[in-house]
Structure 1
Amino acid sequence: MPTKRVLHVVTNVGHYDDPSHATGLWLSELTHAWRVFDEAGFEQTLVNPAGGPSPLEPRALKFPSYDKTAKAWRADPAKMELLATTKRPEEIDSADFDAVYFTGGHGVMYDFPDCEGLQRITREIYERGGVVSSVCHGYCGLLDTRLSDGSYLIAGKHMTGFAWREEVFARVDKLVPYSAEERAKQRGALYEKAKLPFVSYTAVDGNLVTGQNPGSAKATARKVVEVLAGDTSQARP
């Protein structure tokens, strides 16, 4: 079987509207998935909306999710160089990838939604049967993506992502520029979430795979592997 290839999408943005409040990539959402894909033998590439450095969310370096995978990444100069030299969407040929995986962190709320290059890549991968996936705030990269027929990619699809009540519990509801959960619903998504905040939760609808929060990254990546392997037992009818 040919080697599967995954494109990870990370943010360029390092702060909220208020520059005194830092944000960025929630590192474990990348590292947990990277390990799963690496163990599956996948080739992996990083891209962000503008190319170049992806800042790290400071809070993510203190939370329990900052585990050995994230620590090992930060201690590896080669891995950190990957985050410093990400590709631009214009440099990416979607035909080279079997899946796209949108990571989170609040920075993505600013630069993911309006990036036409990312929308192009996502649409092309999805429409040829590849996997489109996201974890946590990564689904902000799917909010405005339309298919070739003009419909929203997430319209009528079961999906999940960081919930508004999780924003409140994280005490950033006054900092975020919008409610991603509400926007997903406005686009026609069949949004769902775990009964309790911050519990790992995933949703699979055909070749759309989404995870709710940082603790869902590993499970989300495993679902991507399953779908790419042709295991549709978790998919919606």
Structure 2
Amino acid sequence: MSKKVLMVVTNHTEIDAENKTGLWLEEFAVPYNIFKEKGYDIKVTSIKGGRVELDPNSIPEENPAEWEEAQEKLTNTTQLSNEDANQFDAVFLPGGHGTMFDFPDSETLLHVLQEQAENDKVIGAVCHGPAGLVNVTYKDGSPLVQGKQVTAFTDSEEEEMQLVEKMPFLLESTLRLKGADFTSKDNWADYAVRDGKLVTGQNPQSSASAANKVVEALEA
């Protein structure tokens, strides 16, 4: 039986009138290909379903040919539903600034991730993808990230992007407030951590590292 992986992506498309956003392509395409190469059964969903827009800054001048299949999956995604809970060996959350707006308050995503955690299954997220973790709790009310080693897009990286004032919250600071043992490397360094069944990556450069640690957790 091949492992089953649920990938959940953002549908949010703008930070403000001047700044478009969406899914960060590398953070989806690279993990997608890694999971595919392992022979995993992958389901791609989004918060609202339908076409998923990419952050314009994440679209390379020359699109790698090996990313084409992954991009095709974004043209008409299935809407995430409560029925997706407990159906997958791993749930993976790619980033993009869009996740800061629609991941934290999605009751469906919170339910799917709570069930995933309660059943001791793998959860992975990269860059801004951990925005989906900030409001997840176990059924006893304790935060999912409490006492766990995690990383994510750092406050320092957000400052370098000059988007601090435009974010609904700062991801690193909020994860720390939820009790996470937050660790990171220098801005834009490739860095991912695995704490048991929870895997997180710092930034786009960490996409492959995060996906590989999800594989490590699944194969353990």
TM-score of the aligned structures, taking structure 1 as reference length: 0.88
Shift of 1:46: 1.1
Cα RMSD for the two superposed structures: 1.7
Query: Aligned letter for 1:42?
Result: Y
Following TM superposition, where does structure 1 have runs of at least 4 consecutive aligned residues deviating by more than 6 angstroms? none
Unaligned runs of 5+ in 2: none
SS at match of 1:95: coil
Aligned residue for 1:34? Answer: 32
TM-score of the aligned structures, taking structure 2 as reference length: 0.94
Q: 1:92 to 1:84 in 2, by over 3 A?
A: farther
Write out per-residue CA displacement over residues 10-40 of structure 1, whole angstroms, 9 at most, x where no aligned residue. Answer: 1001100x22210110000001101111111
- After TM superposition, the structure 1 stretch with the greater mean CA deviation from structure 2, 119-128 or 78-87, is 78-87
Unaligned runs of 5+ in 1: 231-237
- Number of residue pairs the alignment of both structures matches: 220
Asked whether 1:229 is paired with 2:219, we answer yes
Q: 1:80 to 1:213 in 2, by over 3 A?
A: closer
Query: Aligned letter for 2:35?
Result: F
Is this contact kept in 2: 1:28–1:67, CA < 8 A?
Answer: no
Question: 1:121 aligned to 76, 100, 112, which one?
Answer: 112
Query: Aligned letter for 2:139?
Result: S
Shift of 1:72: 4.1
Measure the CA separation in 2 of the matches of 1:92 and 1:216.
30
Is this contact kept in 2: 1:49–1:111, CA < 8 A?
Answer: yes
Is this contact kept in 1: 2:32–2:70, CA < 8 A?
Answer: no
Shift of 1:89: 2.3
Is this contact kept in 2: 1:103–1:136, CA < 8 A?
Answer: yes
Is this contact kept in 2: 1:161–1:210, CA < 8 A?
Answer: yes
Question: 1:213 aligned to 203, 207, 210, which one?
Answer: 203
Query: Aligned letter for 2:106?
Result: C
Question: 1:132 aligned to 108, 120, 123, which one?
Answer: 123
Question: 1:203 aligned to 189, 193, 199, which one?
Answer: 193
Structure that is richer in strand per residue: 2
Write out per-residue CA displacement over residues 137-174 of structure 1, whole angstroms, 9 at most, x where no aligned residue. Answer: 00000000111111110111110000010011122223
Question: Which structure 2 residues correspond to residues 157-176 of structure 1 after superposition, within 5 A?
Answer: 157-176=148-167
Measure the CA separation in 1 of the matches of 2:71 and 2:106.
24
